[in-house]
Structure 1
Amino acid sequence: MGFYTVPDAARLLKIPAKNINRWLGGYRFRHGETQTEMPPLWRPQLPPADDHIEIGFRDLIELRFVDAFLTGGLALQTIRRCIAYARECLQEERPFSTNRFRTDGRTIFLESATGTEHEKVLDLRRRQYVIKKVIEQTFKDLDIEDDTVKRWRPYKGRLSIVIDPERAFGQPIAAGHGVPTVALADAVAAEGSVERVGRLFEVPADVVRDAVAYEKLLRAA
């Protein structure tokens, strides 16, 4: 199912680690004299290790959706309601990373707003285009099998680089060869030649270049 620490996930998703800890660990906030405790958005696939959150591949993809919706202007409480409603409708603990959500996500968002204040429902309806765009863009580089997301092609959606929970513990690799992108990038830095590294690892030079470019993007985040 893949294995990621919070710093791993933060690096791959380009999300602050503190956000991931809040979303999957819950948090408290105080308003005046009242302290409110917010539960996690969902329970991670893996148990915690030494009180540190450990997450699986499906968690990683769900976090990617949460961040994309927040970036699109939706409130976390709106996303929280949607997750709860989608979990009930789809009978999936992690509903965003399913094929049903790809097809019905916009409807699920709007239906989850039923019962809230009229103004908020109207505001959410104005955001239908945003919701649709986020869903389409976020699924664009995901591979679906058996109605759930199985792989992520994180470098511009190209086939050369893949994050697959069944390979290399879900770390980014050269898709057709299984070599971690970080190993290829480090080798190019040491050898000074993409072509030489390609020969050493038996990986095409264009795939090595993609691995180097991808790792550079991650390090710049």
Structure 2
Amino acid sequence: MNTTASPSRLLGLGLYTASEASSYTGIPAKDIRRWMFGYRAAGVDHPGLWTPEVAFLDDKLLGFHDLLEIRFVHAFRQHGVSLQAIRSASLQAREMFGQRYPFTCKRFQTDGRDIFATVLDETGDEALLDLVKRQYAFKQVITPSLYEGIDYAGEESAKRWYPVKRSKAVVLDPARNFGKPVLATTGIDTAAIYHSYLAEGQNAKRVALLYEIPPAALEAAVNFEHRIAA
């Protein structure tokens, strides 16, 4: 990883490989690479859907907001929406909201159908028909669960993400540990806890004492790392 930028420039951005992003989101790494960094098909180069937050680095890496935004791209693709239509929707929403990562904005829940209606006229993408015509269909794709766990700075910009449903024990916060998962209360890297847990023969009590954390915090870190390793 050739992170030649100054550390101060990286603060608050988060830093993830496609494989790490895949672990945290459950989206295949090959899809993430295709969406973020582009691909070549039939002799034609297709760029990524948007410029990554950490594009100033030489490596193909994602920033924190890229990580959250691809979860919405995945939801659209699961519904059959073309990359061309997603690209167009992203551009239009960016202009409308004045936000670089518009799908993650809570406003997209209310204004997204209008944006897709314009994209439907432009692209003729039939997968957009029911999203535009039926509010229920749109809500099935842009589900509240996509926004659950996201803390916002003000109304629109995502600040941190709690990836485990109905739990705030583990957090991805670009202002801490370059956005890698940490225990929310202590900031200790969950991967470090998990590796210690394995090295100590899965002796939970010993590792909890070593890190000076409650057993429940240790359990949360271990369960999270188990889940993303599966």
Q: Shared fold by TM > 0.5?
A: yes
Unaligned runs of 5+ in 1: none
Distance 2:214 2:140 in 1: 34
Which shows bigger deviation, 21-30 or 164-173? 21-30
- 1:200 is matched with 210
1:88 aligns with 2:98: no
Equivalent residue for 2:84, pick from 55, 77, 90: 77
Shift of 1:48: 5.5
Distance 1:157 1:188 in 2: 24
Q: 1:1-221 maps to which residues of 2 (within 5 A)?
A: 1-30=13-42, 35-47=43-55, 49-50=57-58, 52-117=59-124, 122-125=129-132, 128-135=135-142, 136-146=144-154, 147-191=156-200, 192-220=202-230
Shift of 1:62: 0.8
Shift of 1:120: 5.5
1:107-151 residue CA offsets vs partner (Å, 9 max, x unmatched)? 333333234439565344356434323432200121111221111
State the Cα RMSD in Å: 2.2
Per the alignment, do residues 66 and 121 of structure 1 end up closer, same or farther by CA in structure 2, a change over 3 Å counting?
A: closer
Distance 2:182 2:128 in 1: 43
2:171 corresponds to which letter in structure 1?
Answer: V
Q: Secondary structure at the match of 1:99?
A: coil
Distance 2:63 2:108 in 1: 19
Per the alignment, do residues 207 and 215 of structure 1 end up closer, same or farther by CA in structure 2, a change over 3 Å counting?
A: same
1:75-116 residue CA offsets vs partner (Å, 9 max, x unmatched)? 333322211211121122221122322442333333332344
Distance 1:119 1:65 in 2: 19
Which shows bigger deviation, 187-196 or 207-216? 187-196
1:19 corresponds to which letter in structure 2?
Answer: D
Q: Secondary structure at the match of 2:103?
A: helix
Unaligned runs of 5+ in 2: 1-12
Aligned residues: 215
Distance 2:196 2:85 in 1: 45
TM-score scaled by length of structure 2: 0.83
